Structures are given as C-alpha cells and as structure tokens.
Chains A and B, each alone.
With several copies, the nearest count.
Chain A
Amino acid sequence: MSFVEYSDFIQDGDVAVVYLGHDSMMPVKVQQGAQTQTRYGVIRHSTDLIGQRYGSKVTCSKGGWVHVLHPTPELWTVTLPHRTQILYTTDIATITMMLELKPGSVVCESGTGSGSLSHAILRTVAPTGHLHTVEFHQQRAEKVAEEFKEHRVGHLVTVRNQDVCKDGFGVTGVADAVFLDIPSPWEAVGHAKAALKRQGGRVCSFSPCIEQVQKTCEALAHQGFEEISPLEVLLRVHDVRTVSLPLPDFGPDASSAQTPPDAREGTPRYGSVALKTTTAPREMPGHTGYLTFATKPRT
C-alpha cells in the first residue's frame, strides 16, 4: 500500500480504511497483533486484515461486518484527524485541475494544515514531481511529516516549518504551481512568484472571506499575475429515495362518460403513487472559501 500506488493485499504497516456504513469510515494502522474496536466488534489485524484483499468483507467479533478499503487521498480527507480546518474533495478536485497538476509537477503549498490537500497533490504529481509544503505550526509540521512517511509518500515531499509570509517556500524558480491557504495570502504573493518557474506557472489562494480575496487579487495584479480568476465551487448531494404521494379524493365521478384527466391507469382513485426521486439534504455547506486562480507569465 501507498497513497500513490494500489496494492491488492493488506500488509503489515499499511494504513487501511474501514468502511462501517454510509458516511462512516475510520483509518486503521495495520499492525501484526493489534486490534481495532468498532461498533460491530473487534477487528484482529493478524487474522482479519493482514493477507486479505483490499475491498474484502471482514466479520467483526460481534458478528457485524465491515469492508476494508485501500486508502486514497479522498478517503483520507474524510477520515483524517482534524488538526485544523481542512480542504474537502470538491475544492481539492478544482484546485488540482485549475493548477494544471500532473505527474512531474513541482508544487509549493502553505499551510500544510492537516495535510488533506497535500495527499491529493502528492497522488497527482507522483512519481516524478515534488511537493514543498510550509507549515508555521511546529507540532503540525512534525505530525504531518510523520503521516507522509507512514503513507509512503515521504520521498515526494519536503515539509518546512517556517512562516511563508516572512521566509517564503524555501525554494526559488522551481515550482509549476503554488497553493496558499493562509490568513493573509497577499503577504505571500511575492514569495509565490519567486517560487514559480521563470517560464511561468499557476497559483491558487483559498480564502473564506471576500476581503482576503480582494487584497489577494490586488497583490496578484501588482505582482504581474494574469488571468486572475476568483471562483467558488459548491457540492450538492442528492439523496436517492422512494417517496409515496397520496392521490386526492375528489369524490365519485358523476359523468362516467368523460373520464377525468387525473384518472390513472392501474391505480385506485383513492391511493398513492410511489416515485423514485432525490431530495436535497436539509442543510448543506453553503460556503467553504473562494478559490482565486492566476497565471504567472514568463518573466
């Protein structure tokens, strides 16, 4: 297992994702002899996981069962331990495409946060690209570096514990893309420009507030960035369900000659109709942040 390469079988030392049910998953570090407690009972790593195929059904001690999934950056995003606000897959997918990431891309990122985006970047730039990620919070920088190793992507990433607004990304003229998720992105725009290749590249800044976007756009324009394009993407989840709609009873139809237009074949006058449809969740994320993209021209 690695976050950038599929394996067929679960091995000692892997990180696996236990699927407990819809929207309910947990990551597990697979260790010979270890056990994991779930609401369906205990999973014994040596017998239940190691040597099993990813995707297998595992019966827990209480008789309930779960599926064990191969980790992906997307599964990691929904199961990782939150040390900060994180970026979710909808924004991540947009960032990946709009930054034009692909195998071989060199990317700078700050802040690393809980590493949600970092894993997705690493997946996309592997096996020949590199991620330089800067996190000012020391505890977090250490923790995420440890996770990268556990997820076998450590060779693709350099974690730096410094203040990107003061000290930049620690590299110059090497990046194809730069991503900013910091409170004052406009203070780091100059460093972003310096980190990007002379031939140009793409930059993205994520900010929840429009004032941050305004200042960042100003700084980007001032630094000569082009195609400055702020946008927002929201995910809408459609819950599939079967609903039953009762039919109204308008009373006996006196004029039997002309059947009323509401008479339905095969359904009694006084019944209901079942219907496959989707419903919107009562509440949904109304905003995560604005994504401001721009292109650094050749300099």
Chain B
Amino acid sequence: MADNGDDDPQYTIKEGDHVVLKRGDIFKAIQVLPKKKVIFEKQWFFLDNAVGQLYSSTFEIVSGNLQPKKPKDTEGSSDAKEAGTDNRHIVDDGKSQKLTRDDIETLKEQGLKGQEIIQQLIDNSSTFRDKTEYAQDKYIKKKKKKYENTVTILKPSCRILAMMYHGREPGKICHLRYDALAQMLTLANIHAGSKVLVFETCAGLVLGSVMERMGGYGSVIQMYPGGGPGRAGMESFGLPAHFHDMLHDFPICHVNALLAGTLDTTAKDQSAVEKQSNMAADEEQNQPEVKQQVSPEEKSMETNTGDDAALDQETKERDQRREAKAEEKKVKLEEKRKKLAAVASLLEGRNADGLIIASRFHPCPVLMGLLKFLSPSRPFVVHSQYKEPLIECYTKLREQGGTVNLRLTDTWLRHYQVLPNRTHPLLLMSGGGGYLLSGTTVATDRAKPGGSQRSEEPAPKRQKLTDTEG
C-alpha cells in the first residue's frame, strides 16, 4: 500500500464500485450504477456525476444530481456566533422565529442551499443571540439536519459498514455493535494466512469484516444454515475480486455427516448436494436477507411474463425452457458438488485456526458443533444479543473440557462531545451491543474418551461448589 498518487484507481470512484453515502452520522451502502436513482435521507438523486471523482469527496445535491463541493465549505462558522450567557430573557411565546414554513419553502424553491437557509433561520430568530452557546449549537444542529443536502461518498470499510448497520438496521445484524465486532475480530486473532470458520446471520457483515482483515490470504469458510449464505453485507465491502477466491461455504446440514465421515461428495451420490439445493428453495421464504437482495426490476419481470394470447407457442417455449433449465441445473449441481468436496476437504482435517459465531440461532448447539473443527490452541468467539444462552455455552464448555480462558463479557461504549466549555458525553448512547463468549481450544485427552473429563482445571485450583469459575 505504497503511496501511488491520485492516479491509483483505488482512490477514484468507478462505475460498479460499492460505496457508502454519508451525511453526519448517517451512512448508506450502495453500488454505483449508471442512471440508478438512490434515496438517501428522504432525498432522491443519481450517482452518475460521482464517477471519476475521488473517494471522500463531498457533493451537494442539486435537482437530483451530485455537484462536487469545495472542501471546508461544509464547516459551520461556529466562531462567528454570539452567545448569551443564560436563557433568563427568553420568553417562550412561540413567536421567536419570524420565518414561516411557507417562507422557508420559498427559499428552497429559490434554490437556496441548506447552509444558506440555516443562516436565514438564525438571522430571523429573535431569540438566537440570547440563547446559551449550548442551546445555539443544538438549534443549528437541528436545523442543519432538516435543511442540509450534502452527501459524502466514502470507500467502504469494516468500521463504516459496522457503524452503518448498527445505526440503520441493528436487527439485521443481531444487534452486534461495532465495538463488539471489533472485539470479536481481535479476540479471534483474525489475520492473514489463517483458516477461519464464520457462522453468522448478520447479513454478511461479519463475513466481510473477517475477509477484510485477512487481506485475501488464507481461507474463510462460511458455515451457513439452510437457505444459502447471506452475503449482502459482505458485498458492500467492495473487496478486490481475488479476495473471493479464499471464500468457501458449507451448509451446516452436512456437519454431522462430515464429522461422522459419511458425507459423500463424489459424483455418484448427488443426494447430499441436491438436498442442499432443495432446502435452499424451501427455506428461502424464511430468509428476509435473501429476499431483499432481489431487486424490484427482477420482481416485476417475473410477474409480467403471463400473457393470455398465443397459448400454444407458450407451451412449446415452456417445454424448451424446462429442458434448458434441467441442463442448467445439472451443470450447477456439478459445480456445487465440486465446491462442496473442496470445502469438505478443508474442514475434514479439523484444523481450523479460528471460529466466529454471531447469529440469531441458539449459540450453544452451534458452538458445540463447530468447535470440533478447530485445532488445539486456537481462539473462538461467540456473540449473542442475550446473555443467558452464553451462560449455557459457558457451562457446557466447562463440563465438557477442551477449552481454557473462557470469558463472558460485554463492552460499554461512550462517545464524547469535546468543544470549548461544552465537553460532555453524548446525551444518547447505545443500550447494548451484545455479549461475547471467548476462549481458546486445547487438546483433550484422547487416551480417556468420555468418562470423567470434568476437572479440567489443575488440581490445586479446586472450585467452590457454588462457583462455576472463580
């Protein structure tokens, strides 16, 4: 990553790029496609003008198009403010703002930009100058949010996408807050060259983060539940094409068979592969993430194909299509078989280097099942929105042995406003980012299978009866 100058295409927005739109603390991931209308913060516009511009540029939205802005233009002139020291003189009569809603609409129609409208509002507020600096700041922020129409286009990163998902759709990522994701990536020692298992139902955000951290070196195996691996979030990372070569996926419905050595991935037995395909179809309706990947255009195509005229012709075409589809299916199945065989061989050695779980499933059976694929002395991390299932995991692991350094934690995140004489923690904070259970695998005594594996702790460190861990 040497400094190649601005000619380096990595700094330029190109057609087809996955980018992130930003205004204030609001983010939206989007692909740059020609003539594609984008809605962001209740405004419609086209991204076409952004192509060829540099990443991190800020644009003004002018009649549905992006217009590059000079840097520094964004900053409010907060120094120029004249503040009262307290608000004793403010009588709240509801009449302090002289501009009416209609006036403001007129200003907008006249093409006034957000920053200008806000200045108008300040100039026309009889109480603004009497407000404390604190109250002035609040006022400006509120108005800015309402009237500004700039947007910054960023290159996606784990940081930005994790913050975006947390801010916009925490439900889609199991309420995994960005700082919790940060802990997971570090606690699992994700790094280039290792072999990592990922089980997530976080729209692909966790998968993408792991892949970014591995830089295209090593292998990532996405273990996925029925319906196919959710990857929309991973796509938003806009990772280089060759990064995808290291990505493999394995349907968890074959985990038991693989562990038992009964998974047949040879060409003779298609059943395993086929079952997987059928299940994918069956379960699609239970997968909101998958459904949302279907674009509105595709949907409308499907519903508009029916036409009452020329039934014969249709029947014929339908037959042809069916044949073609059957052939297509065969080829696809063969591809799938090869892929499954490849990933099965990656897993069979049970020598993965790390495991990350963050899903809406009960983490306990997931963890107990997937832990078997790890080498000894390798880290694993499980996220859950709820503490109770992780208590269960902890207890099971303690009973079963084979892990050390077990820790059930969560993190507490606080952002600050640091401004002259106005420094304080932000008045709103996230309620919680979920809980993590982390630990390290160790070799189990294969000499004594089953039996009394309970006392996995060194002898002198006996537990009190009521304490699971001291």
Contacts and interface: CB of A to CB of B under 8 A. Distances in A.
Interface of A: 4-6, 8, 19-22, 39-40, 53-57, 63-70, 72-74, 83, 89-90, 92-94, 96-98, 100, 102-106, 120, 123-124, 126-129, 136-137, 139, 163, 173-174, 176, 182-184, 197-200, 208-214, 217-218, 228-255, 260-262, 264, 272-273, 275-290, 292, 295, 297-298
Given A106-B1, A242-B466, A128 B215 contact: yes
Given A90-B411, A97-B185, A103-B215, 7 more contacts: A67-B377, A72-B189, A105-B1, A241-B467, A248-B362, A282-B170, A282-B430
B376 A254 contact: no
A240 B396 CA distance: 12
A207 to B, nearest CB: 9
Given A102-B212, A262-B365, A53 B391 contact: no
10 contacts: A55-B376, A57-B442, A74-B379, A100-B157, A123-B191, A128-B1, A233-B412, A276-B392, A277-B387, A292-B418
Interface stretch (B95-103, B249-257, B302-310, B313-321): B249-257
Contact of A230 (B387, B409, B418, B443): B418
Interface string B159-185: 100100000001000000011011101
Nearest to B181: A97
Q: Considering residues B377, B410, B425, which has the most beta carbons from chain A within 10 angstroms of its beta carbon?
A: B377
A174 B3 contact: yes
Contacts of B386: 243, 245, 275, 277, 279
A228 B254 CA distance: 48
B187 interface: yes
Size class of B's contact patch? 35 or more
A254 B378 CA distance: 27
Contacts of A68: 377
B426 A280 contact: no
Contact of A241 (B56, B366, B468): B468
A96 B423 CA distance: 26
A260 B256 contact: yes
Nearest to A273: B362
Which 9 residue pairs across A and B have the least CB separation, nearest first?
A55-B376, A103-B215, A286-B429, A280-B431, A55-B377, A262-B365, A280-B432, A254-B260, A93-B186
Contacts of A22: 405, 457, 461, 469-470
Contacts of A281: 431
B377 A70 contact: yes
B411 A98 contact: no
A214 B418 contact: yes
A233 B213 contact: no
Contact of A174 (B2, B11, B420, B457): B2
B389 interface: yes
Contacts of A276: 388, 391-392, 395
A156 B404 CA distance: 30
B290 interface: no
B86 interface: yes
Contacts of B134: 208-209
Interface in B437-458: 440-443, 445, 457-458
B409 A231 contact: no
Contacts of B252: 248-251
